[in-house]
Chain A
Amino acid sequence: MMTRPQTDFTAAEAAMTEPAEPILDLRNLSKTFGEVQAIKGVDLKVQPGEFVTVVGPSGCGKSTLFNIVSGLEEPDSGSVLRFEGRSVMARDLLGNVSFMPQRDLLLAWRNVIDNAILPLEIEGANRAEARKEAERMLPEFGLAGFAKQYPHELSGGMRQRVALMRTFMFKRDLMLLDEPFGALDALTRTMMQRWLLDVWQKHRRTVLFITHDVDEAIFLGDRVLVMTARPGAIKLERKVDLPRPRNADLVTSPEFIALKRDLLDAIEEESMKTFGPSSH
């Protein structure tokens, strides 16, 4: 129900021919704002169903990368942007990628259900049916009984879950999550991470997830990418060969810690370029 026929085709094709057709394929992606080069030569392939996390020092152009992939900004000329096997303009992705920004951005005058169905309403779906579907999804998002509450009546964690539910209701094969748990306290954040993995395992969408938290990146991802300081590019790419479903005690396992050390070293090196005394 959640996957569109196109993905089934891609998956079937993937079974026969290796390597699979990536759902998202970025080559030499660059973006310059006036004098400032935000990202430079990003190469990235994301396979269908994959959970890819991106970490990097602050101001490394992570958000610029997301704005391009969600269709809000066009990359510089010379960049190649391929989606579901076709070369596209960034604006072609508007309405085709499910994007969740850092802030929940819930609409104060809409209750939980009506916030969640906003993307369906924009698509022109039948409002009553969309509401019914949202009602069914509430328990899975820990929102059972909160259908008629307004955002100002909810805690930060719940608001974030409503925003995630809104993102999931916009059924697109590729989901972009931009630090969705960045504003939450550590405990809530851990709970949300585990819960997100549960939901993801059920729905099997492709996820590209930005975070500045290395633990989060390893815990969630099939693959972790480290970005360089500005201009942002992919510095390091690590596969996370940890079994799923993942439990909380995973973060103390030797494999986890070894991986974390590598990633932290790479991030540290990049942060030093921005803040360190050795930079000229």
Chain B
Amino acid sequence: MTHDPMTPSRHALARGLLGGGALFLIWEIAARGFDLPAYILPAVSEILLRFWTARDVLGGAAVYTLGEAFGGYLLGGAVGVALALCVTLVPVLRRVIVPAATAVNSVPIVAFSPLILLWFGMGAGSKVVMVAVAVSFTMFVSALAGFDRVDERSVNLMRSFGASRAAILWKLRLPTALPLILSGMRLSTVRSLIVAIVTEMLGAYGGLGWVIYQAVIVIDFVQVWAAIFVASAASLAFFGFVSFLERRLVFWR
């Protein structure tokens, strides 16, 4: 069994925790020792304390943001895979859809945010759409690469057994593409949270990005850091969950 560099081993996890602990220690000593003001760098202990005192706000914001990110993630994933499937089954579409998708993706996704906010409002809907747009391109590219890996000789073998197009899709094309679809899903987890948070900072009624934005306005940098930590933890948890699913589903590698 080859080891995927993206799936953490137990040793890597221990080293990561150790490194994080060391970083926090240096941070704490530096912040206290140099008596840095909170807007430059608050002490880690203060940030951790804020987790507790602001647990309702932070927890609620994390759930809100994760909800948006997850919704957009599923929607974008479905759109990306469906588009890749269309292109695979109707090859003529490839010359139309691939350049169009590349054109959309060549602009930083945040550039679309004023329009998306205008169209879908300040609520969760606009964030879901933004995440979906961002994720769908990654998923389109991954899924297309996956479907392209299908061996034409395998398709012919299935045809010789009398298989219909639907049977070939279900029993051959989808499982063949699954490893690349899932690695695309794994890479999209982090991207979906980034896009959700950035869009919240541009206009929202809740979420971690909104918390960060509000805290900056009232010059509460401990709150900013606390929200960043929560966002980082949420992102890692999401990534870990999808990696776990991937290892379960693609067991044959």
* Chain A residues within CB distance 8 Å of chain B: 67, 70-72, 94-97, 99, 101, 103, 105, 107-109, 118-119, 121-123, 150-152, 170
Please tell me if B163 contacts chain A, counting CB pairs below 8 Å: yes
User: Contacts A105-B157, A118-B171 known; A95 to B252 CB distance under 8 Å?
Assistant: no
Q: Which of B158-186 contact A (CB under 8 A)?
A: 158-163, 167, 171-172, 175, 178
User: Contacts A121-B171, A122-B167 known; A105 to B161 CB distance under 8 Å?
Assistant: no
CA distance A146 to B251 in the complex (A): 18
Q: Contact partner of B159 among A71, A105, A151, CB < 8 A?
A: A71
Closest chain B residue, CB of each to CB of A111 = B252
A175 CB → nearest B CB, Å = 11
A1 CB → nearest B CB, Å = 20
Please tell me if B35 contacts chain A, counting CB pairs below 8 Å: no
Contact status A105-B171, CB under 8 Å: no
Closest chain B residue, CB of each to CB of A121 = B171
Kindly list chain B residues whose C-beta atoms are within 8 Å of the C-beta of A94: 159-160, 162
1/0 per residue, CB under 8 A from A, across B81-100: the answer is: 00000000000000000000
Kindly list chain A residues whose C-beta atoms are within 8 Å of the C-beta of B163: 122
User: Contacts A122-B167, A150-B252 known; A107 to B160 CB distance under 8 Å?
Assistant: no
* Chain B residues within CB distance 8 Å of chain A: 151, 153-154, 156-163, 167, 171-172, 175, 178, 251-252
**A95, A101, A103, A107 — most chain B CB neighbours (10 Å):** A107
Kindly list chain B residues whose C-beta atoms are within 8 Å of the C-beta of A109: 175, 178, 251-252
CA distance A20 to B140 in the complex (A): 57
Contact status B161-A119, CB under 8 Å: yes
Kindly list chain A residues whose C-beta atoms are within 8 Å of the C-beta of B154: 105, 107
Kindly list chain A residues whose C-beta atoms are within 8 Å of the C-beta of B252: 108-109, 150-152
Contact status B161-A170, CB under 8 Å: yes
Contact status A95-B156, CB under 8 Å: no
A147 CB → nearest B CB, Å = 16
A101 CB → nearest B CB, Å = 6
